[in-house]
A and B are shown apart, each in its own frame.
Chain A
Amino acid sequence: IGFDIAEEVRLPPSVQTYLCNAEAQGIVRQFLEQYFQVFDSGSRQPLLQAYHEDAKFSMTSAYPYGQNPKNSSWLNWYNTDSRNILRVQDHDRRLKLLKQGNLAVVSFLSEMPQSKHDIHSFTVDLNISTPQLLLLNVSGMFRELRSGHKTAPIRHFFRSLVIVPAGSGFCIANEQLHVSNATEQQAKLAFKTPIIQTPQPAPELNAAPPAAAIPPVVP
């Protein structure tokens, strides 16, 4: 005879997308498509328009559970500039690793390894939607290109974005990026067919944006 409290671990099922404001779907979808199209294009300079002139950006990186530099693709490039304040105690170093202003941000982004994101792997959480700001959290996978690895590593990312209105469109005021390696399970599914297919209406554009800019969208 046993006891009744040795229960199994049951977690709520994961959901790919959460939008606190359904009306923002078009803006969010369009923003992400345009942003990552430029990010993966080979030149990230056009992202200057996507960041506020006082934008802040910082990055952290870490191996996922069970991985280390000996059994997985090195994260050395990212670890060098990882603003992990648990480890980086020096105030000046903390300040230096926080990129401030769109020039500094895009200059840093331009130095990052070339990438190809798997937009079908993305999870999207829109947690705040007010006239002053959108708070967007995005995670997913990307393949790192031309960075000297024998096989192109598949990485996992998690980005937090504070997006504010700018002129007739939007720009990023704050961003935090976490880079990790894809887990074995994740890597198997990267760049395969969409995980969950949800029919989504095409975003309505108020003006045809230049291909390489975050589009002006009037809410």
Chain B
Amino acid sequence: MDQKAKIDQSCRTAEEFTKLYYESTDKRRHLISKLYLDNGLLTWNGNGITGNDRIQKFYMELPSTDHIITTLDAQPILDNAVNGQLSFLIQVSGTVKYQDKVPKSFQESFVITAQNDKWKIVSDCFRLQEPLNTEKN
């Protein structure tokens, strides 16, 4: 695949992926583990959670959420870095409400990779945009 086609594909895939991802976190958390590799990694505000089963458990215990995406960006990762396995870097910004409280701004970064005809999350990094030492809800 040439670079231009790959770039186009990264954008299309990012649009479909993020729609599914945020629908799942907001409404179908019991299915979220299916989006991750078995040994995928979520870092949630600096808390690392390894493995899709533990990630699902983490989400099940998180207060209910309502995400709105403001920006989305995607690019193919350099072939050499991923041994030629098609992988995309995706970045999202937006707002998230926890149990109908005041929305907070967040940014999130994903690496997704093609495995057996399915896109899977290798890495998911979530950060709320707020100071670290004034944790108030």
The interface of chain A, by Cβ under 8 A from chain B, is 7-18, 20, 52, 54-56, 58-62, 64-65, 82-86, 91, 94-95, 98, 100, 123, 125, 127-128, 132-133, 135, 137, 139, 156, 158, 160, 162, 164, 173-174, 176, 178, 180, 183, 185-186, 188-189, 195-196
Contact = CB atoms under 8 A, between A and B. Distances in A.
Contacts of A55: 78
B125 interface: yes
Given A85-B15, A196-B133, A173 B77 contact: yes
29 contacts: A9-B63, A14-B135, A16-B132, A18-B46, A55-B78, A58-B75, A60-B91, A60-B93, A65-B105, A83-B73, A84-B70, A84-B73, A94-B8, A95-B7, A98-B7, A100-B3, A123-B132, A128-B122, A132-B83, A133-B77, A135-B111, A158-B91, A160-B109, A160-B125, A162-B78, A162-B81, A173-B81, A176-B109, A188-B131
B134 A185 contact: yes
B101 interface: yes
Interface residues of B, number: 58
Contact of A178 (B43, B93, B95): B93
A186 B89 CA distance: 27
Contacts of B129: 64, 139, 156, 158, 180, 183, 186
B74 A91 contact: no
Nearest to A99: B75
A51 B109 CA distance: 20
Contacts of A20: 41, 48
Given A61-B71, A86-B72, A137-B109, A160 B89 contact: yes
A109 B131 CA distance: 26
B4 A95 contact: yes
B132 A64 contact: no
A11 B109 contact: no
Interface of B: 3-4, 7-8, 11, 14-15, 41, 43-48, 62-63, 69-78, 80-83, 89, 91, 93, 95, 98-99, 101-105, 107, 109, 111, 122-125, 127-135, 137
A56 B74 CA distance: 10
Contact of A14 (B46, B73, B109): B46
B43 A127 contact: yes
A180 B91 contact: no
B75 A174 contact: yes
A68 B127 CA distance: 21
Nearest to A160: B109
B82 A132 contact: yes
Nearest to A139: B127
Nearest 8 CB-CB pairs, A to B? Answer: A15-B46, A173-B78, A158-B107, A14-B45, A160-B109, A127-B123, A60-B71, A64-B105
Contacts of B3: 100
Given A18-B43, A173-B77, A195-B132, A9 B137 contact: yes
B41 A62 contact: no
Given A17-B46, A196-B132, A9 B101 contact: yes
Contacts of A59: 73
Contacts of A85: 11, 14-15, 72-74
